[in-house]
A and B are shown apart, each in its own frame.
Chain A
Amino acid sequence: MKKSMLRNGLLLAVFAFFCTALVALVNQQTFDKIKEQQQLELKRVLHQIIPATMHDNELVQHCILIHNEKVLGVDTPLPSYIASMKGIPVAIAIETVAPDGYSGNIKLIIGISADGEVLGVRTLSHAETPGLGDKIELRKSDWVLSFNGMSLLSESDPRWNVKKDGGEIDQFTGATITPRAYIKAVKRALVYVNANKDKLLTRPANCEVNYQ
């Protein structure tokens, strides 16, 4: 009895060792590739929301961390990227979260120019209802493009609402919660950037992005 327990235990340990070794090996082989894919994805998105003609620096290299639950919707620091032309900061790409979507957090990134104009907005990840709330993806609908060129006249700018609430932005048929949360998140980020422009844009890069 004791012998078989020992034998089985050892056998399990051997199998655990080999299985772990296999996973470790594959992980090591794919680690760089996965990182590269994530970087490529990030670069692709950043390129979409801040036009390449506006800046001459590598956006992913000038990354700052912002920790502000009221603005960003989550209690963890999120990265932002500063675009500059000949050393002068011209725009910021700020990552933020809409915590009050229909199902879970909506992660988005917003490009804002130094004079407070929205350059572009993209959804990074979400779990909204397919067919209703997922129009926040550019793949499904060009709704996110309606933010392009918008700026904030005052903190209670009435244009920053869905049309149903008297604003200028389309709601989705059958899904109002999603665009409402989304607009609020973009607006919060914009208000924050406008108010802290000088501090943010001159902040030195302080988050580690392993860019190869």
Chain B
Amino acid sequence: MNEYKQIALQGLWKNNPGLVQLLGLCPLLAVTATLTNALGLGLATMAVLIGSNILVSLVKTFVPKEIRIPIFVMIIAALVTCVQLLVNAYAYGLYQSLGIFLPLIVTNCVIIGRAEAFASRNSVLKSAFDGFMMGLGFLLVLAVLGASREILSQGTLFEGADLLLGDWASVLTIHLWHLDTSFLLAMLPPGAFIGMGFLIAFKNVIDKKLAERTPEPDVPEVTRARITKVS
């Protein structure tokens, strides 16, 4: 069970795809203008990540080393297309506001990265859990960035939640204050870069504080889940 705890810790904090691996920055910076968009893309990425990890782990035994990458890419591309079709069919409004970034999940390096580094070496259950945790880590970064940008730029939170969750969700929208002209920096990609910088800095500060509090290096970081097992 400890192993699963380790996987969760890796995905959510130590090896967070957004804050540590810095993978998938393009969608991360582009769609986090509102919390709704951030959640939508985060959930879609998570779904693809879990699916691709499961499939890759399932087929890992009969995929020769030489052609593993094209096969992983095919699996990921197929899954992304499926997710895109499903979002188009069942969350049309969200499909319109996410636009090109939905099919672009396919280029998100987190997914091929996890397929290669984890799912192709671990059991199905562990891979699914890893996909979930990595996806959740990515989703949380997206959500925090999306929420702070939305509050700063428009003074609202969860604007357009009904696009993602259905009509009932329009009650979730919170108007914090009214702005006559929106704060543009927070709304445009440069603001996302700056916000991202703050998030990473904040994480590093916390890590440093934690390290100071526990000075004795009783766990010399050998137990990292990144097992480079040669098969």
Q: Which residues of A contact B96 (CB under 8 A)?
A: 125
The interface bits of chain B over 151-172 (1 if a CB of A lies within 8 angstroms of the residue's CB, else 0) are 0010000001000000000000
A-side interface residues, number (CB < 8 Å): 28
> CB distance A19 to B75 under 8 Å?
yes
CA distance A30 to B83 in the complex (A): 11
Which secondary structure dominates chain A's binding surface?
helix
Which A residues from 119 to 152 make CB contacts under 8 A with B? 125, 129-132, 139
Q: Pick the contact of A11: B64, B81, B160, B187 (CB < 8 A).
A: B64
Contact call B88/A8, Cβ cutoff below 8 A: no
B64 to A26, Cβ gap below 8 A? no
CB pair A11–B85 under 8 Å, yes or no, is no
- B71 is an interface residue with CB less than 8 A from chain A: yes
- A38 neighbours in B (Cβ, 8 Å): 92
Q: Would you call A23 and B89 a contact (CB within 8 A)?
A: no
Q: Which residue of A lies closest to B80 (CB)?
A: A23
* Contacting residue for B85 out of A16, A26, A41, CB 8 A: A26
Which of B67, B74, B78, B153 has the most chain A CB atoms inside 10 A of its CB? B78
Q: Which residue of the partner chain B has the closest CB to A127?
A: B99
Of A8, A41, A130, the most chain B CB neighbours within 10 A belong to A130
Query: In the bound complex, do residue B89 and residue A19 qualify as a contact, i.e. CB atoms below 8 Å apart?
Result: no
| Cα–Cα distance between A157 and B153 once the two chains are bound (Å) | 37
Q: Given contacts A15-B75, A16-B74, are A131 and B88 in contact (CB under 8 A)?
A: no
- Is B188 interfacial (CB 8 A cutoff)? yes
- For A130, list chain B residues within 8 Å (CB): 33, 187-188
Q: Are A27 and B77 in contact, CB atoms less than 8 angstroms apart?
A: no
**A76 sits at the interface (CB 8 A):** no
Q: Please name all residues of chain A whose beta carbon is closer than 8 Å to the beta carbon of B81 when the two chains form the complex.
A: 23, 26
Give the docked Cα–Cα distance between A41 and B89 (Å): 12
Interface assignment of A88: CB less than 8 Å from any CB of chain B? no
Cβ distance B58 to chain A, nearest Cβ, rounded Å: 11
| Chain A residues near B67 (CB-CB < 8 A) | 8, 11-12
* Minimum CB–CB distance for B7 against chain A, Å: 27
Q: What are the residues of chain B within 8 A of A164 when measuring CB–CB?
A: none
Whether B88 pairs with A34 at a CB distance below 8 angstroms is yes
Q: Digit string of B55-76 for contact with A (CB within 8 Å is 1, else 0)? A: 0000100111011001100110
Taking a contact as CB atoms under 8 Å apart, the answer to whether A12 and B92 are in contact is no
**B residues 4-22 touching A (CB-CB < 8 Å):** none
A22 within 8 A of B: yes
Q: Chain B residues near A16: list those with CB within 8 A.
A: 74
A30 touches B85 (CB 8 A): yes
Q: With an 8 A cutoff between CB atoms, is A33 at the interface?
A: yes
Query: A37 an interface residue at 8 Å Cβ cutoff?
Result: yes
| B89 and A34 form a contact (CB under 8 A) | yes
Interface CB pairs A-B, < 8 A, 21: A8-B64, A11-B63, A11-B67, A12-B67, A16-B74, A20-B78, A23-B82, A26-B82, A26-B86, A30-B86, A30-B89, A34-B88, A37-B88, A40-B92, A41-B92, A129-B188, A130-B188, A131-B184, A131-B188, A132-B184, A174-B184
* Residues of B participating in the A interface, judged by any CB pair closer than 8 Å: 33, 59, 62-64, 66-67, 70-71, 74-75, 77-78, 81-82, 85-86, 88-90, 92, 96, 153, 160, 181-182, 184, 187-188
